[in-house]
Structure 1
Amino acid sequence: MRAIDLFAGSGLFSRGAEDAGIRIVWAGNHWKVATDCYAANHAVLPACQDLHQQDWTQVPAHDLLIASPACTGHTPARGKDRPHHDADRATAWAVVSALECHRPAFGVIENVVAFTKWVLFPAWCQAVTALGYAISPHLVDFADLEVPQNRERVIIVLSRSKHPLELKLPKIPHIPAAQIVDFSAGSWSPIRKPGRSPKTIARIEAGRRAHGDRFVAPYYSTGSGTSGRCLSRPIGTITTVDRWAVIDGDRMRMLSIAEARKAMTVPDDYKLPARHADAMKLLGNAVPRLGAMHIFRALERAA
């Protein structure tokens, strides 16, 4: 099966597809840091441009379209709405344009669950249906797919078939955060140091009462409750900025890139940008590799 990857980012969605035996023949993304990362890890040289402007007639023939349109316009984590979120949400229409041009047999679209609450989501589905596709949304927690991270996403399977395809995804025992956190590494600082937010300290103290001396907690918000989470659970969603603090007694540090790589099931030989902020942004925007592999294997079985 031949595939193209829209909004390919770091290329982990593509890598998961390749691990499932799918051949990627084209990829594209608008951010040069992302396309440089993709090119460093794949045989395909990705297009670097706004995909709204892509001439889809110049894209190779393919059987499968995979895409991760921008999620920042949909996720509740974006905070107060801003004008650029309108442009982010509009990236989903590039998927429709690509489908209209090539009419591949299948599509797999990944996004945050809130994508299905978008005011234009019914119109988007209507456009896809008008092109002859049956639509099958799947709510997936990647922790069920061999990924040591609770990461809920919607996987929308498109097929040129009379009935929607239902993927039979495995449910693999969860991998705890203890397997990705390395307490012997990293740059630590005292929890109670000048300038530390009282809210952060209160959250950590609540976590210590609930989980003991070692656990992980969201540093900037209460996204995983007011006491973080124990290491026997998968870590919470890896985001595009540093979010998770690792607590060890009276010291703490932020999750390292090496640990975030493990949380996203990135292969050891996979090259990421040297700049920490760029690497974290690519990881937070990615589709976990092993989860993607299981999704594409299930698609091939259903097809």
Structure 2
Amino acid sequence: MRAVELFAGAGGLALGASLSGFKPLAVLEWDRWACDTLRENQKNGYPLVSGWPIHEGDVRDFDWKSLPTDIELVAGGPPCQPFSMGGKHGAYNDQRDMFPASVDIVRRLQPKAFIFENVKGLTRSAFHNYFEYIRLQLEFPESPKRKNEDWQGHYVRLQAEHSSGKQHGRALTYRLQTNLVNAADYGVPQRRERVFIVGFRHDLETTWSMPEQTHSQSALMHDQWVTGAYWERNQIAKKNRPASPLITATSQMLIRQRSLIEEPLKPWKTVREALADMPNPERRVKHHLINHTYQPGAKSYPGHTGSPLDLPAKTLKAGGHGVPGGENMMVNDDGSCRYFTIRESARLQTFPDGYRFHGAWGEVMRQLGNAVPVELARQVMSSVGIQLVESQLRKMGLKSTADVAKALAQSNQQALASKRA
């Protein structure tokens, strides 16, 4: 299946696409350091990025006429800083807002589906109208903003056309779903809330929904503070376990009931579990891991604390002025803290251990803080890919994989009969 990757960064979303069977026709990213990361992995023969056509530059300057229309997927994470809780909240007044460019690319390429990812801040009440404006543009991309029309005027016009039903007569319209998800609910060892905007072309008649979560917080609490299975599983002696929080008998019962309701959900993955087989970088022992070097200088103070070992990590952040809030630090068993190494941060973002990152620690942490967790991307991409395949099967008059097998068998029999004749 053919895809175009926008705002690729270090490649988290694009890796998820490759793992799901998509082949990129173009991978676009303006940042030189992130492009160097992609190129370095190609140079070192990392298989998932083999053959990626990497284009360094602004997506608005790319020759979109060089690509075919009716491709399967356009995907990307437009810069989140205009909507980030830690940003300047400029939204439509921020020059980094790339949603208008994203809509334009959808209009040009007319893909069967698109996936756009962004920060939770996009759903804040302050951005409500602009978020709905983005949705309407993606739903009806053939109704672009007119000359000298501001976004509010365009929004009002789109609302009126949408209410009138006139848009449904247009050739290019999309069925949209927006979902706010926590990456920890999908097996990522990090509490990372992100918005996914997913659209399928109306003519495909799909019934897509976000993949069901696989992990839960209550399952982790049950394992830690009700049965103790978590500590046994991680071989933590009783004397070394953290003090049990004040959980009443009623609370324990509620946790038990919640975990039973959520079965077969697995416990959230924790920092301890994600990094269990990695040597402590402070000891500077020889190891085979790349990008796993101790970074000194971590300090903890009010408002700047790290991630506890026995929970998913806090959201890794890029930060406009260094590393904020202590999110990129871990808290050791003895209460001391240190920075996550690049490799540890990559683990928390579920990048494969063989995937290299280009640049100094601070620069790479910016790349990682902006990335989509690979495992979350894989699950979303796979679900979209399945819908696209099923749509193609319906177009061919086939309803299931059994029908496909039957059609292939008939085709082989016909080919064999033709050779005999």
* TM-score, scaled relative to structure 2: 0.59
Aligned residue number for residue 342 of structure 2: 257
Please list every run of 5 or more consecutive structure 1 residues that lacks an aligned counterpart in the other structure: 204-217, 220-227
Residue identity in the other structure for 1:231: L
Report how far residue 52 of structure 1 moved: 2.3
Aligned residue number for residue 330 of structure 2: 246
- Provide the rounded CA distance (Å) in 2 between the counterparts of 1:293 and 1:179: 21
Aligned residue number for residue 141 of structure 1: 182
Aligned residue number for residue 178 of structure 1: 272
Aligned residue number for residue 213 of structure 1: none
Aligned residue number for residue 224 of structure 1: none
2:189 aligned with 1:165, yes or no?
no
Q: Give the superposed CA RMSD.
A: 2.5
- Provide the rounded CA distance (Å) in 2 between the counterparts of 1:37 and 1:85: 30
Please list every run of 5 or more consecutive structure 2 residues that lacks an aligned counterpart in the other structure: 42-48, 142-172, 216-265, 283-293, 389-421
Of 335, 360, 378, the residue aligned with 1:293 is 378
Aligned residue number for residue 312 of structure 2: 234
- Provide the rounded CA distance (Å) in 1 between the counterparts of 2:191 and 2:37: 25
Bigger helix fraction:
2
Aligned residue number for residue 229 of structure 2: none
Structure 1 290/85 Cα, relative in aligned 2: closer, same or farther at 3 Å? farther
2:82 aligned with 1:63, yes or no?
no
**Mapped contact 2:68–2:109 kept (Cα < 8 A):** no
- Provide the rounded CA distance (Å) in 1 between the counterparts of 2:66 and 2:100: 18
Report how far residue 256 of structure 1 moved: 1.4
| Range with bigger deviation, 103-112 or 159-168 | 159-168
SS in 2 for 1:123: helix
Structure number with bigger Rg: 2
- Provide the rounded CA distance (Å) in 1 between the counterparts of 2:183 and 2:386: 19
Aligned residue number for residue 225 of structure 1: none
**Mapped contact 1:158–1:164 kept (Cα < 8 A):** no
2:235 aligned with 1:150, yes or no?
no
What's the CA shift string for 1:4-28, capped at 9, x where partnerless?
1000111121111111111122110
SS in 2 for 1:260: helix
What's the CA shift string for 1:268-287, capped at 9, x where partnerless?
11120141112111111111
1:1-303 correspondence to structure 2 within 5 Å: 1-41=1-41, 42=49, 43-61=51-69, 62-78=71-87, 80-81=88-89, 86-89=94-97, 91-117=98-124, 118=127, 119-131=129-141, 132-161=173-202, 165-172=208-215, 173=266, 174-181=268-275, 184-186=280-282, 187=294, 200-201=300-301, 218-219=304-305, 230-241=308-319, 242=323, 243-248=327-332, 249=334, 251-303=336-388
SS in 2 for 1:114: helix
**Mapped contact 2:139–2:199 kept (Cα < 8 A):** no
